[in-house]
Chains A and B, each alone.
Chain A
Amino acid sequence: MSSDTSELIRQDDVTIRFAGDSGDGMQLTGTQFTDTTAKVGNDLATFPDFPAEIRAPAGTRAGVSGYQIHFSSADIYTPGDAPDVLVAMNPAALIINYKDLKPGGIVLVNTGSFTDKDLERADCKTNPLTDGSLSGFRVIQEDINQRTIEALAGTPLGKKDVLRCKNFFTLGMMYWLFSRPIEPTLEWLVEKFGKKPDLLDANTRALKAGYNHGELLRLFQGRYEVPKVDNVEPGTYRNIMGNQAVALGLVAGAELAGLKAFLGSYPITPATDILQYMSLMKNHGVITCQMEDEIAGICTAIGASFAGHLGITTTSGPGLALKTEAMGLAVITELPLVIVNVQRGGPSTGLPTKVEQADLLQSIFGRNGEAPIPVVACSCPADSFECAVEACRIAVEYMTPVILLSDNYIANGAEPWKLPALEDLPHFEVKFVTEREGYTPYTRDAKLARAWAKPGTPELMHRIGGLEKDAHTGNVSYDPMNHQIMCETRLAKVMGIRDSIPTPTYYGPDAPDLLVVGWGSTYGAIRSSVEALQREGKKIGRLHMRHMYPLPHGLPEIFASARRIVIPEMNFGQAARLLTSEYPQFKFETHYKVQGKPFFAPELKAHFRKILEETA
């Protein structure tokens, strides 16, 4: 592109929210902006926010789809709080989002979608562009519909298709405004529309026109530069979404175990992407079966584990409920199995596209009988790979089902991920039993994991199942004492996992006035807010948990050093309840939010500050 002469304003930290109708292509606009920003070398975090309806009535508030990206010259941990820039493609998108904007923030409005009819659809009695709603913001009005039509003059596409290119025009404008190169998106367009020259040409022209429009028309007062992060840890990076990282981690985990991955699943928001990603990995020997229901998903995975594969199933809360009985079967048959639960708002169907952490206790305790299952929780998209590998390790080393908890915020959020060196990954290769000597189905190793002999192995024919088995022979047993011994053994095996997991790192001053304990996707908001208070000299520290069950060693020593302990959670205090029952000598305070939205750093900071003031 031509160089331009606009004034460059350095800004180290920017949050943009793209908002439009579900059909406006805002998710695509956001992901393109993200990928380009990652390549420029900024740290970033994103959060898409879309309705459960695929196409709610056009132009209505229910149909607004948003995508927020936070990018910076420094390390960041959250997708941002109040946006600096709002791109609103129609009145509904504007009305729903403008109140979140920072004072003085920029609002780019597509006036082409502000007819009386558009206003009526968005349930606006008055026009927010003229009724004073936007005072205090820098409003840039542009008829993006008309500009796109002009840019595509002469295209063979019909008007409807032409207007569908308006998101690329918008993207071009934002690229100009934030000094991003358009080349990565141009390359992406070639890849995407290479075989459809008309669409390729139209979107390319729209993107370039948008960029040039920013430059030529001086709509904006200046142009921003967000320099790349200087002190980035050396290494190779890629931009990753949580679901993608989980898929990669599961495939890597199976390989590190020397097994083939077998995914039995059923599509459910927001976990479906994992099944979709893994379906692409056929040349890695990954078997994926989209089954008839959630139960069949987990049951095929259990069958595959019995046959010597690493069985995996992926789901979200309601699906986890359906899989409950089969999870008990995996517990009693002591087969390795990874169950991924990408949490969403509940109960029941709840808020399928929103975030919540309310399945923690269900995951740990929600089964009939004494059925302990280890639970590992991802804290952010980049952490999800390691957590998935860890879930696979525990599953095969301890011959047990493992639940990997993610949530919608992690699953659909994206951030740069420093790729691990392959040689640094843990190896936990499975050794199947092949010798008859001394074999019974419940022969155990030092970790209490039972011997794994797979069908097809001569002389090791055996039967497993949901009925209790004799600890020695593996035959069905109703012996009262044997049942107690088997229950105790299964529990002792799972509790023994403690010896293989690290104590979470505490970050903060000695003897803090306030210790913030977190788990899951509250990581970014907790870290940002605690670090901000630490910079003010406050005696506040934090620790973030990965292993939710069994709990790692060393926690009481950390808890004992703090005057007060608070746990922010997107539930009514499930981790607090868990820790209270485990460590009744400490008081764990709950700070909750169940709005289908993640915590924002400022609200946590305010809460922590309040506690610190009380403590002072």
Chain B
Amino acid sequence: MSEIQQLKAKDFKSDQEIRWCPGCGDYSIIAGVQAVLADIGVARENVVMVSGIGCSSRFPYYMETYGFHSIHGRANAIATGVKVANPDLQVWVITGDGDGLSIGGNHMIHSLRRNVDLKIILFNNEIYGLTKGQYSPTSPQGLKTKTSPFGSVDAPFNPLQLALGSGATFVARTLDTQPKHMKEVLAAAAAHKGAAFVEVWQNCVIFNDGAFKDWTDKTTRDEQTIMLQPNQPMVFGKDQDKGLKIDGFALKVVPASEASVWDPTVDSAGPAFVMTQLDADPAMPRPFGVFRSVQRPTLDELVREQITTVTQKRGPGALKDLLYTSDCWTVG
């Protein structure tokens, strides 16, 4: 046995020069992932990064792990094949709002429904970056882009709602500007057994700069955001003086002392869904953190179990038995 060596974040950096635009939010996400992988002590050879197409999807090339930069929208499907074939691997999916919600929307919902043990990071910059600035399925209505010069008329997806509706067992959101929060969320995703969906608000400095500035700007963010902590009262504000109270199917702002405690582990996805609806209300803070974290068997586990059960029942199959069945006959 080789001695166990403690890897550092830099050990997860490949020798390839990163080619994202200066100031891109992607830099902070890759740093967060590298730090989390070092912290959790996973061996580099047991990590697989699978991506689709888009700016974010270059990610695997920059990681000193196994990596597969695939085709547009299909990362979840390829990652499903990797994970089901070898459940010992820790498989990450790197995708964006175009890759994962537009062309790859189908694979996204089905990998969440099946609860494949994948760590899915959705880089949401509300724009198509690699094709140089067209509206995406998360762009707000009215956004002027190269293909919507008079404003986009498409209603956007809320990625968290899509994930919850698809039966995701882990749903979280963080921001590129808050590395500490991002590390916490990514570590929780890595620790989760099952499909973990993490939306990261990521600023595109070139084609959609400032899309999230109300929630990232230091002067406004404390009043405009709320960081959900498991089993803690939901408080926010510069002075942590305000709170959220669950009131039926809605949330209302109350003094911090009256805030409800946030529990992402409840069976019902209802509270998490109610929480995502704050996004639609300009008067309310935007929530970040872990929205949902529940357990159910993963696809890769179930596939293995079924093979084991059938093999126990029927005995390990031999090629001869498969060919020479009881309805054979012999001549000569």
B68 at the interface (CB under 8 A from A): yes
| In contact, B322 and A287 (Cβ under 8 angstroms) | no
Q: How far is the CA of A541 from the CA of B16 in the complex (A)?
A: 60
B61 at the interface (CB under 8 A from A): yes
- The interface stretch among A157-165, A296-304, A559-567 is A296-304
Q: How far is the CA of A304 from the CA of B50 in the complex (A)?
A: 12
Across the A-B interface, how many residue pairs have beta carbons closer than 8 Å? Answer: 206
| In contact, A308 and B329 (Cβ under 8 angstroms) | no
Give, as a whole number of angstroms, the nearest-CB distance from A329 to chain B: 5
| In contact, A461 and B65 (Cβ under 8 angstroms) | yes
Query: Given the interface contacts A289-B84, A464-B69, does A35 sit within 8 Å of B327 by beta carbon?
Result: yes
| In contact, B16 and A234 (Cβ under 8 angstroms) | no
Query: Given the interface contacts A301-B81, A303-B78, does A466 sit within 8 Å of B71 by beta carbon?
Result: yes
A556 at the interface (CB under 8 A from B): no
Query: Given the interface contacts A281-B317, A282-B310, A287-B303, does A462 sit within 8 Å of B67 by beta carbon?
Result: yes
Give, as a whole number of angstroms, the nearest-CB distance from B14 to chain A: 7
Nearest A-chain residue to B44, judged by Cβ: A461
Most chain A CB inside 10 Å of its own CB: which residue of B67, B86, B316: B86
Q: How far is the CA of A38 from the CA of B330 in the complex (A)?
A: 11
Give, as a whole number of angstroms, the nearest-CB distance from A454 to chain B: 8
A262 at the interface (CB under 8 A from B): yes
A519 at the interface (CB under 8 A from B): no
Give, as a whole number of angstroms, the nearest-CB distance from A615 to chain B: 41
A46 at the interface (CB under 8 A from B): no
A422 at the interface (CB under 8 A from B): yes
Interface residues of A in 444-478 (CB under 8 A from B): 454-467, 475-476
Nearest B-chain residue to A292, judged by Cβ: B110
| In contact, B322 and A466 (Cβ under 8 angstroms) | no
Q: Mark A116-129, 1 if CB is under 8 A from B, else 0.
A: 00000000000000
Q: With a CB–CB cut-off of 8 A, which chain B residues contact A237?
A: 328-331
| In contact, A466 and B45 (Cβ under 8 angstroms) | no
Q: How far is the CA of A308 from the CA of B86 in the complex (A)?
A: 8
| In contact, B61 and A456 (Cβ under 8 angstroms) | no
| In contact, B66 and A461 (Cβ under 8 angstroms) | yes
Nearest A-chain residue to B46, judged by Cβ: A456
A431 at the interface (CB under 8 A from B): no
Q: How far is the CA of A291 from the CA of B84 in the complex (A)?
A: 12
Which listed residue, A301, A455, A476, touches B89 by the CB 8 Å rule? A455
Nearest B-chain residue to A284, judged by Cβ: B317
| In contact, B324 and A236 (Cβ under 8 angstroms) | yes
B314 at the interface (CB under 8 A from A): yes
A309 at the interface (CB under 8 A from B): yes
Q: With a CB–CB cut-off of 8 A, which chain A residues contact B49?
A: 463
Q: With a CB–CB cut-off of 8 A, which chain B residues contact A309?
A: 85
| In contact, A292 and B106 (Cβ under 8 angstroms) | yes
Q: How far is the CA of A353 from the CA of B107 in the complex (A)?
A: 28
Q: How far is the CA of A262 from the CA of B84 in the complex (A)?
A: 9
| In contact, A233 and B331 (Cβ under 8 angstroms) | yes
| In contact, B325 and A238 (Cβ under 8 angstroms) | yes
Which listed residue, B70, B303, B313, touches A466 by the CB 8 Å rule? B70
Q: With a CB–CB cut-off of 8 A, which chain A residues contact B106?
A: 292-293, 296
A581 at the interface (CB under 8 A from B): no
Q: How far is the CA of A455 from the CA of B329 in the complex (A)?
A: 45
Interface residues of A in 223-276 (CB under 8 A from B): 232-239, 248, 251-252, 255, 260, 262, 264
Which listed residue, B60, B68, B110, B311, touches A283 by the CB 8 Å rule? B311
Give, as a whole number of angstroms, the nearest-CB distance from A441 to chain B: 11
Q: With a CB–CB cut-off of 8 A, which chain B residues contact A18?
A: none
| In contact, B81 and A302 (Cβ under 8 angstroms) | yes
Q: How far is the CA of A475 from the CA of B84 in the complex (A)?
A: 27
| In contact, A299 and B81 (Cβ under 8 angstroms) | yes
Q: With a CB–CB cut-off of 8 A, which chain A residues contact B324?
A: 236, 238, 419
Size of interface on B: residues with Cβ below 8 Å to A:
60
Q: With a CB–CB cut-off of 8 A, which chain A residues contact B322?
A: 248, 251-252, 281, 284
Q: How far is the CA of A462 from the CA of B16 in the complex (A)?
A: 11
Interface residues of A in 28-63 (CB under 8 A from B): 35, 38-39, 41
Q: With a CB–CB cut-off of 8 A, which chain A residues contact B331?
A: 41, 232-237
B315 at the interface (CB under 8 A from A): yes
Nearest A-chain residue to B109, judged by Cβ: A292
Q: With a CB–CB cut-off of 8 A, which chain B residues contact A307?
A: 48, 81-82, 85-86, 89
Q: With a CB–CB cut-off of 8 A, which chain B residues contact A302?
A: 70, 78, 81
Q: How far is the CA of A251 from the CA of B319 in the complex (A)?
A: 8
Q: How far is the CA of A508 from the CA of B314 in the complex (A)?
A: 49
| In contact, B314 and A456 (Cβ under 8 angstroms) | no
B97 at the interface (CB under 8 A from A): no
Nearest A-chain residue to B87, judged by Cβ: A307
| In contact, B316 and A283 (Cβ under 8 angstroms) | yes
Query: Given the interface contacts A299-B77, A455-B82, A456-B86, does A238 sit within 8 Å of B319 by beta carbon?
Result: no
| In contact, B79 and A303 (Cβ under 8 angstroms) | yes
Give, as a whole number of angstroms, the nearest-CB distance from A257 to chain B: 12
Nearest B-chain residue to A299, judged by Cβ: B77
Q: Mark B35-51, 1 if CB is under 8 A from A, else 0.
A: 00000000111101111
| In contact, A306 and B78 (Cβ under 8 angstroms) | yes
| In contact, B85 and A287 (Cβ under 8 angstroms) | yes
B306 at the interface (CB under 8 A from A): yes
| In contact, B107 and A296 (Cβ under 8 angstroms) | yes
Q: Mark B85-100, 1 if CB is under 8 A from A, else 0.
A: 1101100000000000
Most chain A CB inside 10 Å of its own CB: which residue of B45, B53, B77: B77
B218 at the interface (CB under 8 A from A): no
Q: With a CB–CB cut-off of 8 A, which chain A residues contact B315?
A: 283
A311 at the interface (CB under 8 A from B): yes
| In contact, B320 and A455 (Cβ under 8 angstroms) | no
Which listed residue, A252, A291, A460, A465, touches B68 by the CB 8 Å rule? A465
A201 at the interface (CB under 8 A from B): no
Interface residues of B in 245-271 (CB under 8 A from A): none
Query: Given the interface contacts A282-B310, A311-B81, A455-B66, does A329 sit within 8 Å of B107 by beta carbon?
Result: no
Most chain B CB inside 10 Å of its own CB: which residue of A234, A289, A463: A463
A540 at the interface (CB under 8 A from B): no
Query: Given the interface contacts A238-B329, A306-B78, A309-B85, does A463 sit within 8 Å of B61 by beta carbon?
Result: yes
Q: With a CB–CB cut-off of 8 A, which chain B residues contact A248?
A: 322-323
Query: Given the interface contacts A237-B329, A307-B86, A308-B86, does A465 sit within 8 Å of B314 by beta carbon?
Result: no
Query: Given the interface contacts A293-B106, A306-B81, does A287 sit within 8 Å of B61 by beta carbon?
Result: no
A285 at the interface (CB under 8 A from B): yes
Interface residues of B in 94-153 (CB under 8 A from A): 106-107, 110
| In contact, A461 and B319 (Cβ under 8 angstroms) | no
Q: How far is the CA of A255 from the CA of B319 in the complex (A)?
A: 8
Nearest A-chain residue to B78, judged by Cβ: A303
Nearest B-chain residue to A229, judged by Cβ: B331
Query: Given the interface contacts A296-B106, A475-B16, does A287 sit within 8 Å of B84 by beta carbon?
Result: yes
Q: With a CB–CB cut-off of 8 A, which chain A residues contact B89?
A: 307, 455-456
B64 at the interface (CB under 8 A from A): yes
Q: With a CB–CB cut-off of 8 A, which chain A residues contact B61?
A: 463, 465, 475-476
Q: With a CB–CB cut-off of 8 A, which chain A residues contact B313?
A: 283
Q: With a CB–CB cut-off of 8 A, which chain B residues contact A236?
A: 324, 328-331
Q: Mark B55-75, 1 if CB is under 8 A from A, else 0.
A: 000001101111111110010
| In contact, B314 and A463 (Cβ under 8 angstroms) | no
Q: How far is the CA of A347 from the CA of B275 in the complex (A)?
A: 49
B22 at the interface (CB under 8 A from A): no
A-B contact pairs, 8 of them (CB 8 A): A260-B85, A289-B84, A299-B78, A303-B83, A455-B89, A461-B66, A463-B61, A463-B68
Nearest first, the 8 closest Cβ-Cβ pairs linking A and B are: A303-B81, A234-B332, A465-B69, A300-B81, A299-B77, A284-B317, A463-B67, A307-B85
Using a CB–CB cutoff of 8 Å, the interface residues on chain B facing chain A are 14, 16, 43-46, 48-51, 53, 60-61, 63-71, 74, 77-86, 88-89, 106-107, 110, 303, 306-307, 310-311, 313-317, 319-320, 322-325, 327-332
User: Given contacts A283-B317, A296-B110, A303-B82, could you give 16 more A-B pairs where the C-beta distance is less than 8 Å?
Assistant: A39-B329, A236-B328, A252-B319, A262-B84, A283-B307, A284-B316, A289-B81, A292-B106, A296-B106, A304-B85, A309-B85, A329-B70, A455-B46, A455-B66, A461-B67, A463-B69
